[in-house]
Structures are given as structure tokens and as C-alpha cells.
Amino acid sequence: MSDMELLLWARGPGLQGAVAVFVAGMALRLIEIYSLGRKRDLSPARPGNGGAGWATIITRSIPHKELLRTTYLTYILGYTFHIGLFVTLLLFAPHIQLFRGVLGFGWPSLPSPVVDAVALVSIAALFGMLAYRLYHPVKRFLTTFGDHAAWLLTMLPLLTGYLAFHHLLLPYTLMLAVHILSVELLLVFMPFTKLVHVATIFISRWYNGDMLGHKGARL
């Protein structure tokens, strides 16, 4: 298979199959979560905690001052990576053209040099997160194969995209195909790894906040 044939397959059948697995996998995981049900809490709700679930979505996104004091590097690297990934994915002109082709509409993009710089910072933050995880004794002890797999699946699209943009390592057509295939690999495995949190993080925060607010716990 030539480089162009691989690229055409990745942009066509490969992408369609990956999206189908992603949608079906995410639907299955959400059905599994919701089917667990929730036991009815027969205790009276404590006053003054209405809307605790929604409030928790916001408060849990803000670092607690005590945790920030001891694990500030985790927060800095984590927020840097997530913001950078958001910018790279949603504000890069070629990506917006892809979304426009699928969704039928698009939005303004940032200049390519800006997105390029943000992507590089995100890559550096991801490597920093890995180094800190391997250095910190508690994090190293708690790290599993799934954590490393999630890191690799997230890093590959960013790294290969950066290399393709700068025409590095491999011929451009092949590097672009590898980039698209790495994105498809991420889509396929996302519902079945810890990366599923992209669809469950706000649901779980709302649930925990609503449950603890009902009991009168301080959030």
C-alpha cells in the first residue's frame, strides 16, 4: 500500500470505523453507568444545599488551596495540557474544516503559529506529567498499565500532528496518515480505558455533589 493509499484509507473507511466504535462504545458505557441505578435516600434533605450537584461541577474544577499547596505541579501540568489540547483540537483551521465537513458548520480559528506553539507546550506538559508520575513515589506506586496506555494514546495524536505540520521524521503524506491513524486509535480505545472520563467526569461530579449535598456534607 502506498503512502497516498494509506492516507485515503485512514481518512475514509478507517475514520468511519473508528467513529462508529467510539460512538457505540461511549453509548454502551453510559448505559452501563445509568443502569446501575441509585438507591432512594430516605433521609430528609438538609436545608441550604439545593443545587449542590451543579455547584460541585464548578468547585471540583477549581484546585483546593490545601491540595494546590502540596501538588501544585500536578495542577499546573494538567491544566496546561487540557487547555492546550482543547485549543489544538478545536481552534486549528484544518481541524475546523473537518468538523465543518461532518457537522455542516464551523467557527473561527486561531493563527497556525499560535496553535503550533500551544501544541508544543501541551506535548511538553504531557512529558512533564509522565516524568512527575515516575518520580513521585506515591504516584509511581499507584500508576497502572492503564495509566501509561492512556498517556500514550493521548500523546500520539499531538506528537504526530506536530511532526506532520513541520514535515518532520517521515514523508508528509505518510506522517499525516500516521497522525490520522493515531487519532482513530484514540477514538477506538477511549470508551474502554480511563480516557472515558471525558464523557463521565461532569456526570460523576454532579452525582457526588448532589448525594453529599443531600446529606448536608460540606462541599
Convert the pLDDT of each residue in 11-38 to its tens digit: 999 999 999 999 999 999 888 877 876 6
Long-range contacts of 71-80 (CB under 8 A, 24+ apart): 73/128, 73/132, 74/129, 74/132, 77/125, 77/128, 77/129, 77/132, 78/125, 78/129, 80/121, 80/122, 80/125
Helix (H) or strand (E) holding 14: none
CA distance readout (Å), 165 to 8, 10, 64, 98, 178: 18, 17, 38, 16, 12
Q: Quote the pLDDT of residue 107.
A: 93
pLDDT tens-place string over residues 69-121:
777 788 889 899 999 999 999 999 999 998 898 788 889 999 999 999 999 99
What band does 218 get if pLDDT is binned at 50, 70 and 90? low
pTM to 2 decimal places: 0.85
Over residues 155-178, the mean pLDDT reads 96
Query: Running DSSP on this structure, what letter comes out for residue 71?
Result: S
How far is the C-alpha of 93 from the C-alpha of 96, rounded, in Å? 5
What the chain holds in terms of domains, given with CATH numbers, is 3-17+64-215 (1.20.950)
Is residue 147 a contact partner of residue 115, using CB atoms and an 8 Å limit? no
CA distance readout (Å), 41 to 38, 47, 204, 215: 9, 15, 17, 9
Q: Residue for cell digits 513515589? A: 137
Q: Count Cβ atoms within 10 A of the Cβ of residue 143 and give its class: 0-12 exposed, 13-18 middle, 19 or more buried.
A: middle
pLDDT tens-place string over residues 117-163:
999 999 999 999 999 989 988 888 988 999 999 999 999 999 999 99
